[in-house]
Amino acid sequence: MGSPSSGWRRSPTSSTEESEEAMRGAVLFGPRDVRFEERDAPKIIEPTDAVIRLSASCICGSDLWPYRGISTTTAPTPMGHEYCGIVEDVGRAVTLIKPGQFVIGSFFASDNTCPHCRAGYQTSCAHRQPVIGAQAPVLRVPLADGTLVATREVPSSDRIPSLLAASDVLGTGWFAADAANVKPGATVVVVGDGAVGLLAVLAAKQMCAERIVAMSRHAARQKLAREFGATDIVTERGEAGMARIKELTRGVGAEAVLECVGTPEAMQQAIGCARPGGYVSYVGVPHGVELDAQKLFFRHVHLHGGPAPVRRYLPELIDLIWSRKIDPGKVFDLTLPLENVAEGYRAMDERRAIKTLLRL
């Protein structure tokens, strides 16, 4: 998700100044330059805000776009938009969320009452606001009542990674499957073997797809895809990948294709794998993707994507995690203390790690 800059400040010249109001968190200064820097400690600004103390944080695949300089960073930018933790303080207009509750929210704050929210598109909320700076100990969440979902009690620590995954990657993978109309018995193709793609496999499995093809050429990711429910692995890409999917589907193509990357190649591959009348969902932030309307017209595919309305799915996802029916926290294959956040970015950038959990 995008990460507009605010809340960063230069270290005060006097080190004693406002020390209780400062904290340290991840700040992006420029391409491949993430630092664990002093920032203003978040506090209640609007009466609808909450401030939460995070139980864990993590790095998202979409954080790699600004990290790699593909989306431009003009000012030092606090990073991170995935979060879960304990409510410390709420504004005077917050009535549903209470201090002491364990809560999870999504990367866009939403009121959950406007027509778009009520239709299940909270990431198009008329009052949406980005949540930024979650790679830090404390976070301000706008529109707390609409954005946050509280668990019935404070979870045991072994559930934290899965609950954190629900904040973005699981919710996004779930939307990928839902938006591609995955139905019981369906043949599903997942393009992209990052955390979202892997959890899209898990989501398709939960929605009772019969055949789930993961397109991946990385052994560790293939293994996790199989654990999450993939029945087939296709290592070919582009034209060869599309040909392989045709072959696996007796020349027909897949009824549901989940594009979880955001590049032109991935989008072309996804559309090329769908059968006429099939569905293609796209949940990776597009970078340089352009579609040829003429070609699209003659393919007869449904396209449905966008920033996942994770809030729509959170209550259901929390229940599935709470009852241990799913374990999406397995996507975290590297855990580091928050102060080593820069190494977490490097590991994901070099594809040494699928997803980095940051310990607080």
Which residues of the chain form contacts with Zn ion (CB under 5 A)? Answer: 110-111, 114, 117, 125
Per DSSP, 102 falls in state E
Minimum distance from residue 112 beta carbon to Zn ion (Å): 6
Alpha carbons 76 and 68: distance in angstroms, whole number: 14
Between residues 45 and 119, which has the closer beta carbon with respect to Zn ion? 119
Between residues 101 and 122, which has the closer beta carbon with respect to Zn ion? 122
Between residues 95 and 235, which has the closer beta carbon with respect to Zn ion? 95
Minimum distance from residue 105 beta carbon to Zn ion (Å): 14
Contact partners, residue 15, CB within 8 Å, separation at least 6: none
Cα 229 to chain centroid distance, Å, stands at 20
Give me the residues paired with residue 254 across strands. 274
Minimum distance from residue 104 beta carbon to Zn ion (Å): 18
176 close to 340: Cβ distance less than 8 angstroms: no
Say what the alpha-carbon torsion angle 66, 68, 70, 76 is, to the nearest 10 degrees. 40
Between residues 145 and 265, which has the closer beta carbon with respect to Zn ion? 145
Minimum distance from residue 90 beta carbon to Zn ion (Å): 19
Minimum distance from residue 145 beta carbon to Zn ion (Å): 11
Between residues 97 and 214, which has the closer beta carbon with respect to Zn ion? 97
The one-letter amino acid at 31: P
Tokens 């999870």 map to which residue? 104
Other Cβ atoms less than 10 A from the Cβ of 306: the count is 15
Minimum distance from residue 106 beta carbon to Zn ion (Å): 12
Between residues 131 and 209, which has the closer beta carbon with respect to Zn ion? 131
Contact partners, residue 293, CB within 8 Å, separation at least 6: none
